[in-house]
Amino acid sequence: MAALRLWSRRRAVGPRAGVRGLAAGRHDYDLLVIGGGSGGLACSKEAAQYGRKVAVLDYVEPSPKGTRWGLGGTCVNVGCIPKKLMHHGALLGNAIKDAKKYGWDISLPVRHDWGVMANAVQNHVKSLNWGHLVQLQDKKVKYLNLKGVFVDQHTIQGESKKGEKTLLTAKNIVLATGGRPRYPVNIPGAEFGISSDDIFWLRDSPGKTLVIGASYVALECAGFLTGVGLDTSLMIRSIPLRGFDQQMAHLVTDYMTSYGTRIFWKCTPVKIEKMNSGKLQVIWKNLASDIEERESFDTVMWAIGRAPETQNLCLDKAGVRLNPETGKVIVGAGEETSASHIYAIGDIAEGRPELTPTAIKAGKLLAHRLFGRSTQLMDYDNVATTVFTPLEYGCVGLSEEEAVRRYGEDSIEIYHAYYKPLEFMVAERDATQCYIKMVCLREDDQRILGLHFIGLNAGEVIQGFALGLKCNATYSQLASTVGIHPTSAEEVNKLNITKRSGLDATVTSC
Three-class secondary structure assignment of 236-288:
ECCCCCCCCCHHHHHHHHHHHHHHCCEEEECEEEEEEEECCCCCEEEEEEECC
Active site residue 124: no
What value does the mean pLDDT take over residues 274-291?
A: 97
Q: How large a percentage of the chain has pLDDT more than 70?
A: 95
The per-residue pLDDT for range 12-41, each reduced to its tens digit, is: 333 333 333 333 358 999 999 999 999 999
Which of 12, 338, 26 has its CA nearest to residue 155? 26
Which strand (E) or helix (H) includes residue 309? none
Question: Which pLDDT does position 8 carry in this prediction?
Answer: 32
From the candidates 112, 124, 452, 485, give the one annotated as an active-site residue. Answer: 485
Question: Which pLDDT does position 510 carry in this prediction?
Answer: 62
Average per-residue pLDDT for the chain: 94
C-alpha separations of 253 from 8, 89, 388 in Å: 55, 20, 12
The per-residue pLDDT for range 323-357, each reduced to its tens digit, is: 999 999 999 999 999 998 999 999 999 999 999 99
Cis peptide bond upstream of 188, omega within 30: no
Question: Which pLDDT does position 25 carry in this prediction?
Answer: 54
Contact 488, 470 (CB under 8 A): no
| CA atoms of 487 and 436, how far apart (whole Å) | 13
Q: Is 356 left (phi over 0), alpha (psi -120 to 50) or beta?
A: alpha
Question: Which pLDDT does position 508 carry in this prediction?
Answer: 81
Task: Give bridge partners of residue 149 from the DSSP assignment.
Answer: 157
Task: Report all structural domains of the chain as residue ranges with CATH numbers, in order of start.
Answer: 15-59+145-181+307-371 (3.50.50.60), 190-304 (3.50.50.60), 385-493 (3.30.390.30)
For residue 460, is pLDDT > 50? yes
pTM of the model: 0.93
3-state secondary structure 403-423: HHHHHCHHHEEEEEEECCCHH
Structure confidence at residue 108 as a pLDDT band (50, 70, 90): confident
